[in-house]
Amino acid sequence: MFAILLEHYKGKWPFWLSPRQAIVCPVSEKSQAYGLKVRDLLHDAGYYVDADLSDRKIDKKVREAQLAQYNYILVVGEKEAVTGQVSVRVRDKAEHSVMNTEDLLTHFKAEIAAYH
């Protein structure tokens, strides 16, 4: 069954099955605390979320997350930390949006509910 799923999805796991559902990428050291807060909030809600706290530039962090096939890449900077929002990039789409953490949790729940 695992081989069939792997072949069907070509390694790009759907959100409900993915071991890499989301990654939080802080823009700078100043936004790392907020990035960890977002990661912990999503993790406590039951999602698989990582955080890239390296000192690389944000473009490199996003590119690495895309190559690792994360479903969602959540970019946080000082502006997002002040407003309580995250910049959301979806793995297979070029556009990105900004939403608050409550809306993001609602979106994640709806995406998982669509598969059950």
45: three-class secondary structure by DSSP: coil
Distance of alpha carbon 67 from the chain centroid: 13
- Give the C-alpha distances (Å, rounded to integers) separating 28 from 32, 33, 75, 77, 108: 7, 10, 10, 7, 26
Q: Which fold has domain 13-114?
A: Rossmann fold (3.40.50)
Task: Tell whether pTM > 0.85.
Answer: yes
pLDDT in tens, 42-94: 999 999 999 999 999 999 999 999 999 999 999 999 999 999 999 999 987 77
Distance, in Å, from the CA atom of 45 to the CA atom of 36, rounded to the nearest integer, reads 14
Distance, in Å, from the CA atom of 73 to the CA atom of 23, rounded to the nearest integer, reads 5
Quote the longest CA-to-CA distance of the chain: 46
Domains of the chain, residue spans: 13-114
pLDDT in tens, 12-35: 788 888 889 999 999 999 999 999
